Amino acid sequence: MVKRPRDCTMCRECVRLEGWADRVQLNRVADHFIFTVESTGIMPPEQIVRESFGVLKKKAVDFYGLASAGDLVDGGDLEMDVGGGL
């Protein structure tokens, strides 16, 4: 186990030298994601995350609506207005 897993960038330097690939095994947790939120102080990070999830959800719902409405054009691309916020 890595002493500080958040510091590991998965650069693979620990297995590049001869013999270390047999001693070190690199794995990731498939459903685990660490991200950092920085704030200038105007909004607390918790609020930034909540609002960003709301924006992401709206975009996903809008995209799903376009796809399920059959608005696909030749080549499988969605026909959408670039200024529409998607």
Question: For residue 29, which amino acid is it?
Answer: V
Report the pLDDT value the prediction gives residue 21, as an integer from 0 to 100.
Answer: 85
pTM exceeding the 0.95 threshold for the entire prediction: no
Each domain of the chain, given as residue ranges in start order, spans: 5-74
Report the pLDDT value the prediction gives residue 86, as an integer from 0 to 100.
Answer: 43
Q: How many residues does the chain have?
A: 86
Rounded Cα distance, 20 and 22, in Å: 5
Rounded Cα distance, 46 and 40, in Å: 13
Positions in the chain whose pLDDT score sits under 50: 82, 84-86
Beta bridge partners of 78: 72
